Amino acid sequence: MEKYYVSYNKIHSIMKDLSQQIIESGFEPDYIVAIGTGGFIPARMLKTFINRPILTVGIAYYDLNDNIMDEPNIIQWIDDPDKKLKGKKILLVDEVDDSRATIGFCLERLLTHKPLEIAVTVVHNKEKEKRGSIPPEIQKYFAGETMEDQWICYPWDADEILEHENNC
């Protein structure tokens, strides 16, 4: 599969563009919720342009011994979530909407805490068959770039960042 290398600066610029789309849509979140670990960096970049507190949830499809699992492993959830999220507007952030499994899982679970509204934003959305789905309650979805199915190489996964940069 073709590899697509993306730099930190490019993702920063995408998050700025996304923030403008979100602001123009009229959506004013109470909280940014970052899906970890892929959403941590995009969410922090976004906070510069939409200055709301960041909460995080950690989801992994592997256990502590790096065994791959069918069901997601919840590394961390929001503490006291009903109190924090009930009636609130949430902007959920992840790096990529690939199979949609993680995002779908998080949305279902966040909805149990009865937020007023959730909007989704991702740096990249891959146009492909999705295993997960976005619940009908979710009406706002913002993608920085929509693309064919490719292997995206994120800068934070680079062993040598200057080598990575040369491939961007």
The region of 6-14, 105-113, 118-126, 139-147 touching a second copy under the rule CB under 8 A is 6-14
Selected from 21, 44, 109, 141, the binder of a second copy by CB under 8 A is: 44
Using CB under 8 A as the binding rule, whether residue 108 contacts a second copy is answered as no
Selected from 50, 78, 93, 122, the binder of a second copy by CB under 8 A is: 78
When the beta carbons of 28 and 137 are compared against a second copy, the nearer one is 28
Using CB under 8 A as the binding rule, whether residue 168 contacts a second copy is answered as no
Q: Mind telling me the catalytic residues?
A: 98
When the beta carbons of 136 and 151 are compared against a second copy, the nearer one is 151
β-strand 89-97 against 117-127: which pairing, if any?
A: parallel
The region of 34-42, 108-116, 120-128, 132-140 touching a second copy under the rule CB under 8 A is 34-42
Q: How far is the CB of 31 from a second copy (least distance, A)?
A: 9
Using CB under 8 A as the binding rule, whether residue 85 contacts a second copy is answered as no
Using CB under 8 A as the binding rule, whether residue 68 contacts a second copy is answered as no
7, 165 Cβ separation under 8 angstroms = yes
- Rounded Cα distance between 148 and 125, Å, is 8
Using CB under 8 A as the binding rule, whether residue 72 contacts a second copy is answered as no
